[in-house]
Amino acid sequence: MTMQIRRLPPELWMQQLFDAKSARQGGVVRRKLADVECNVGLDAFLAEIRRRGYHAVENSGQVVVFCNNAPINLLH
């Protein structure tokens, strides 16, 4: 018996991401890059990030979204 995984529609997946408490409060949310690509597609995801005026970074397969429009400073 094979198990079939149901995926959320892309719009609902994105809505749930940005409805997270951290996102609503201007914090950060993190997702696997593979999940972003599989659920909504990277182009659509980045378009939504730009539309909202947010910033996103990727490192080692993880995408971190800063749910505000404050500048990003890389600390070394």
Per-residue pLDDT tens digits for 2-56: 777 778 899 999 999 999 999 999 999 999 999 999 999 999 999 999 999 999 9
pLDDT at 17: 97
Please state the rounded mean pLDDT for residues 60-70. 98
pLDDT at 1: 66
CB count within 10 Å of CB 27 equals 13
Domain definitions of the chain by residue range: 10-66
Report pTM: 0.88
pLDDT at 2: 75
Give the residue ranges of DSSP H helices in 1-76: 10-18, 21-24, 33-39, 42-52
pLDDT at 35: 97
